[in-house]
Structure 1
């Protein structure tokens, strides 16, 4: 097949192309509120790339599909359009944007949250991923572990019919912003993340028991730490916001 990428067909590449112009405009508007060079991952046929180029900022667009890259280079000769893998390419531009292939969402999010050099990420992901990362209906372990350093917000649901071919689930627009002032000292990040992991995976019924086992405290001290942190004893880890996690860590770690 002439148009088949050397990396595989559409299914292997996870390609579902966004066609809904209001959604495209909404994503570009979010990008326009930021500053600095832009990196688009998963450029595809350029549905986002072309309007992003109209912002007049330095733009790099990457995709693994060599056929689409060639076509996009012809359309946008003044942009940097490169054949590259988002799992290997440096995600170090101030602004990262993209319609993320659904099967690559988690590894790309991990790369972003573990990396430096970017300030804003505006990503079109599966609806459930966007909703959970933004803490709608309860937070996740990944979001809680990153919350002291990043702010997550949800900017709309994108029905599956707005893609071609149509995927089996809706999409969601997720914005991640690196905090200018971290809520926890970056030098404590590894220890903090281990604490969060123990809180989400540890044994115990209720937050006092989880703090008791995760921090090695007596039950009375665990309850006192939660009270000092302004956290109700009937809460669960998924109920805590970024500031609550930071206050809890401050008291657990003795800072």
Structure 2
């Protein structure tokens, strides 16, 4: 679902970073298919070999098409004629913020699914309720973040930042539980996945805060009016 969103928005909005994430996602899926196919027994391989070949061919086609757009010279970051370089930079940061909001949401959802359904460690009923509330919290947080950027409302930006604090606290708690139960199941795969996912989530949040700070400083400088004006110009 996220891949479909990334490739659609990446093409329609000419958003390079989301096309790059789409390419990485497809490559990850192809690598996963290759690993799964390579460990199967010889008796099972002929039954799924056609599907395996189709996955690789379609995935390669997607990668080539997406890279042709990413590396192409026709993608414009700002379509308004005569836009100042400073406004183009603001637009790029705004687009990066929107992308990072989606990346952050995906990271939170993936970590929640990992904790709930992978059997990483036994979780209590209250902890399950907290995770479910966390999903609603993540969607609410992203909605507030989008509204804060689109409407250029500084109070909503601070509310959005405060909403991230419980998520960061939960990441610390998750890492603590993983370290305490490290290797108890005889395998380190799930533990490594949890640590990697938490690290990626922290990196996404860090870059998101940095880009949001840059966008926050540009509030009221005419970018919103230029983007949503039907005439595409800033009133003097």
Tell me which interval the TM-score lies in, with the shorter structure as reference length. Answer: under 0.3
- TM superposition score normalised by structure 2: 0.23
- TM superposition score normalised by structure 1: 0.22
Compare the two structures and name the one with the higher strand fraction: 1
- Bigger relative CO (Cα 8 Å, ≥ 6 apart): 2
